[in-house]
Amino acid sequence: MTLQVFNRMTRQKEEFKPLTEGQVKMYVCGPTVYDHAHIGHAKTYVSFDVINRYLRYSGYRVRYVQNITDVGHLLDTGEDRILKKAGALSLEPMEIVETYTRSYFEDMDALGVRRPNISPRASGHVPEQIKMAQALIEAGYAYATDEGDVYFDVHSWPEYGKLSGQRLEELEGGARVEVAEGKRHPADFALWRHAEPEHLMKWDSPWGVGFPGWHIECSAMATKYLGETFDIHGGGLENRFPHNECEIAQAEALSGKPFANYWLLTGSLTVDGVKMSKSLGNFITVKDAIKTYRPEAIRLFILSSHYSNPVDFSEAALVSAQKGWERLMGAVQLTRYALRDAPEGDAGSGFQVAIDEHRQQFIEAMDDDFNAPQALGVLQNFTREVNTLLNSGEEVGRETLEAIDAVYRELGGDVLGIVPDEISEAGVDAARQDGLIQLLIEMRAQARSEKNFALSDLIRDRLADLGVILEDRPDGTVYKLQ
RNA sequence: GGCGACGUCGCCAAGUGGUAAGGCAGGAGUCUGCAAAACUCCCAUCACCGGUUCGAUCCCGGUCGUCGCCUCCA
């Protein structure tokens, strides 16, 4: 079976065929860097991270471009988000941009999100945006006003609204926005805005001093790095209208070609049933979430529902995800313990059938529009079988153990990013810590053999207080770090 | 009002025209010095009402409800 994806543009599941055999060009709308990222961002970017990872696992070469919006994204008051923040903190706008860009990558790194191949900034691509606006004017799709603003003329582009199913007539009726001076139609959107003298981020242009509109950066940068047509355009569903719609209009009006072949949009994250967003103030930052939960558990929580569905955040859901993750990791750890002094040879090779089966099921799930929740189910079923095997008392040879470990590393690690390569605490002397714990385990074993259970339980309890959990197995005692 | 989704076990969440994965929680066991972990067993007819069909949770229509977008948001 080949990869199928649900294309929001055509509203159906389609076979994925990249423009160039073996290569995928993907663009995902990135964040506006005026505040710390929240877990709503995490949902979108972890989702696309897994899509990126799975495409690579499937053998594709991927060029993944995700922009950083650092100019032009206005509040409904007309203020630039970044300028507003800069003014409030008496900082240069670019200090704000730098601070939150770093913060964003810090958070995504912590969540195990692989960095895009290119993270272009809007402010670094102003010439490209001006050029595109100019071309749109020349082609008759945009017009400049006396004030020095440039607007896209939505009526000149009959396909405007095709992604979201919006019709211009309906928009007119529902328009609550104050119509800017000089617009021919309320739905016309800005490609370029003139800057007032006190405005800090501004550039020269054929229409005077100003700054680019929000939507045009994505069209300009996606086209620059991926070409006039590329394979996948991603982002959050809430940006479908007007942002994605405007991107399409700008790019396709100029090129006459499809902007992107497949539109993959993620469902929003809600908190107590309400969308988490900066403007509502009900957001939980990634930095806060990581203080309480393992990054892998946060990933598992996000991957527990399909990327295109909305997901409701709750403490209970996170706890449940973390427990589920611990169950998986129990088997991973058991496998790696067994591997330490595994007998050579292919004992237990009958298990290879189960390995192949589950690997196949996992691939089938992911091939079906990146169905991570189902793939996780496969991994959990696999885990039950692994636990049964490793607790059976039968000899399991190195070959089989390595094959099991490979499943966890490749599917759980490389693809889903929830199984770390090494189970150890960062920043501590792992070897010394391990030695000390082993010493205590030996002392406790001695106490147990003398039936001194008071002492053996004391050792276990005191270690548990330190976050070291001991588990007695027929073949000895193992430990887990909490 | 318009556009787009969704409504599956206590919670989260996959899925299929032929009586429904998985995780969490819960109950009963096995194992254990006791635990923990693990394993076994138990735990849902899929919002409601019509229709199509031999048969629908999955297809169509309607009702109710929830959410997103239409205004900044990933």
Percent of chain A residues topping a pLDDT of 70: 94
Residue A335 CA to residue A389 CA, distance in Å, equals: 10
Give Cβ neighbours of residue A137 (< 8 Å, ≥ 6 apart). A143, A144, A150
Q: How many CA within 13 A on the CB side of residue A117?
A: 15
| Amino acid, single-letter form, for residue A462 | R
Residue A230 pLDDT > 60: yes
Residue A73, nucleotide of least CA–C1' distance: B72
A263: exposed, middle or buried (Cβ count in 10 Å: 0-12, 13-18, 19+): buried
What mean pLDDT value characterizes chain A?
A: 90
Q: What's phi and psi for A345, nearest 5 deg?
A: 110, -175
At residue A3, the pLDDT reads 95
Beta strands A230-236 and A210-212, pairing class: unpaired
Distance A365 CA to B14 C1' (A): 10
**pLDDT tens digits, residue range A291-344?**
999 999 999 999 999 999 988 888 889 999 999 999 999 999 999 989 988 888
Distance A174 CA to B68 C1' (A): 17
Estimate the crossing angle of helix A39-57 against helix A93-110, to 10 degrees: 60
Q: Domain-by-domain residue ranges, chain A?
A: 4-303, 315-415, 430-481
ipTM of the assembly?
0.94
Q: Are A53 and A414 in contact (CB under 8 A)?
A: yes
Residue A385, nucleotide of least CA–C1' distance: B39
Helices (H), A143-184: 168-174
pLDDT classification of A176: cutoffs 50, 70, 90: very low
Residue A30, nucleotide of least CA–C1' distance: B74
Distance A198 CA to B72 C1' (A): 22
- Residue closest to A122 by CA, chosen among A211, A38, A34: A211
Residue A250 pLDDT > 80: yes
Distance A438 CA to B41 C1' (A): 37
Question: In the block, which residue shows the tokens 């995490």?
Answer: A42
Judge: domain A315-415, CATH 3.40.50.720. no
Token pair for A368: 């079906």
CA angle A292, A298, A299 (to 5 degrees): 155
**pLDDT tens digits, residue range A384-419?**
999 999 998 888 999 999 999 999 999 999 999 999
Residue A437 pLDDT > 60: yes
pLDDT classification of A279: cutoffs 50, 70, 90: low
Residue A317, nucleotide of least CA–C1' distance: B12
- Residue closest to A326 by CA, chosen among A351, A293, A302: A293
Architecture of domain A4-303: 3-Layer(aba) Sandwich (3.40)
Distance A383 CA to B29 C1' (A): 21
At residue A73, the pLDDT reads 65
**pLDDT tens digits, residue range A181-199?**
678 888 899 999 998 887 8
Residue A148 CA to residue A208 CA, distance in Å, equals: 6
Token pair for A464: 């548990």
Cα torsion for A372, A375, A377, A379, to the nearest 10°? -130
Q: Measure CA to C1' and name the residue nearest B35.
A: A471
State the distance between the two ends of chain A, measured CA to CA, in whole angstroms. 40
